[in-house]
Structure 1
Amino acid sequence: MATSFSPKILTNIFLVLVVTAAMYAAKATELKETKLSFYMHDISAFGDPKATTIPVAGIAGKAWTFTQFGTVYVVDDNITKTPDPKSPKVAQFQGLYVTAALDGLRYFATASIVFTNKEYNGSTIQIQGTDKYPATEVAVVGGTGEFRFARGYATSKIYFWDVVTQHSVVQLNVTTVEHEFRF
């Protein structure tokens, strides 16, 4: 004789399975906080063969500057452990800046911190946000490798700036929270 289950019993079995899976998933992940501090070396002198930040687009007939609305920059800055450019390299800061405010006081940044050091080699942290100089805060919106599913924030402040050479050193502090999967 075949056994039949009522819809109520099937619904209850399904609910037990869903709750059990949710409890297992909650136990399987832990949040891990990572705090990083390092220094970006930016050379933005137009025409300098060593430039790491250059304007690539802007409003026709207007100067392409950091304070001119609509100016787009591409950046590929070295990131080192200390402010000394000869200190160990940790990563590259690769992305875009766009002067995003009509008054020229705010910019939009989207970039990847691409790690090259032994500890995080190949991992990335993705940042994005609108802020203004000299101190900024943007969101960490994701990551890869060791920073998969990362969320958090990054703050930066100018550590050193030479107006003549347009070389700046920017201290970058990144705090992320990512899932650590434990099975």
Structure 2
Amino acid sequence: MEKSLRLAWFLVLTTAMAVAPCWSYYSDTKPYAPPPKKVTHLHFFLHDIMSGKNPSAVVVARPNTTTAQNDSFGTVTATDDLLTVGPDVTSEVIGNGQGLWVSTDRDIPGLTLYMDFGFTKGEFNGSSISVFSRNPIAETERELAVVGGRGKFRMAQGYAQLKTYFLNIRNGDAIIEYNVTVIH
């Protein structure tokens, strides 16, 4: 019995002294040294087309609680809009704006907008910026927050100044001019 007790204590002690490998979900902490910041100015036009056979913006959800026939409050729209260098849809396409906008203002036309502007040409090919902000579309000029990006715009911040270039109230088609200042 004494031999068994000694063996048991030996096993307990050697097991307790054994070093188990330490697996971790993170690496050693090192101070972050950000690269020098750059400021980039972008200018493009977004074509938000809700009409026709091939719209770039479609309603994906509409609440069943609205009472007025034209009340769009709570409507969710998904977009895959063209970005062009000029206001004409035939001008050079430089990317697309994909995301969602939600009608979030009961009193005046206003949206909450999340979009990722992905660039497919030029110096910023493969990069994108993301905006998330309130968009009071009844105002001619407005501003959105740039909240991030990828590629050459990784960790971006900044703002986008918007101006409605064209709006067809009957079918919802719009062309919006963007002047964006990106700090990255």
Fold match (TM-score > 0.5): yes
Structure 1: tracts of 5 or more residues without a match: 1-20, 179-183
Partner of 2:175: helix, strand, or coil? strand
Kindly provide the amino acid, as one letter, of the partner of residue 58 in structure 2: I
CA drift at 1:136:
2.3
Q: 1:1-183 to 2 correspondence within 5 Å?
A: 25=33, 29-45=35-51, 48-60=52-64, 62=66, 68-133=72-137, 134=139, 135-164=141-170, 166-178=172-184
Instruction: List structure 1 runs of 4+ shifted beyond 6 angstroms.
Output: 63-66
TM-score, normalisation: structure 1: 0.75
Identity of aligned residues (%): 34
Partner of 2:17: none
Partner of 2:152: helix, strand, or coil? helix
User: Quick check: 1:55–1:64 contact (8 Å CA) kept in 2?
Assistant: no
Which has more strand, going by share of residues? Answer: 1
CA distance in 1, matches of 2:71, 2:180: 26
User: Quick check: 1:58–1:64 contact (8 Å CA) kept in 2?
Assistant: no
CA distance in 2, matches of 1:85, 1:67: 29
User: Quick check: 1:64–1:71 contact (8 Å CA) kept in 2?
Assistant: no
Q: What is the total number of aligned residue pairs between the two structures?
A: 154
After superposition, the C-alpha distances for 1:52-102 in whole angstroms (9 at most, x for unaligned) are: 111111111648998521110001110001112111111101000001122
CA drift at 1:104:
4.6
TM-score, normalisation: structure 2: 0.74
CA drift at 1:37:
0.6
Partner of 1:17: none
CA distance in 2, matches of 1:52, 1:65: 24
CA drift at 1:147:
0.3
CA RMSD of aligned residues (A): 2.5
User: Quick check: 2:135–2:142 contact (8 Å CA) kept in 1?
Assistant: yes
User: Quick check: 1:76–1:94 contact (8 Å CA) kept in 2?
Assistant: yes
User: Quick check: 2:146–2:158 contact (8 Å CA) kept in 1?
Assistant: yes
| Greater displacement, 93-102 / 60-69 | 60-69
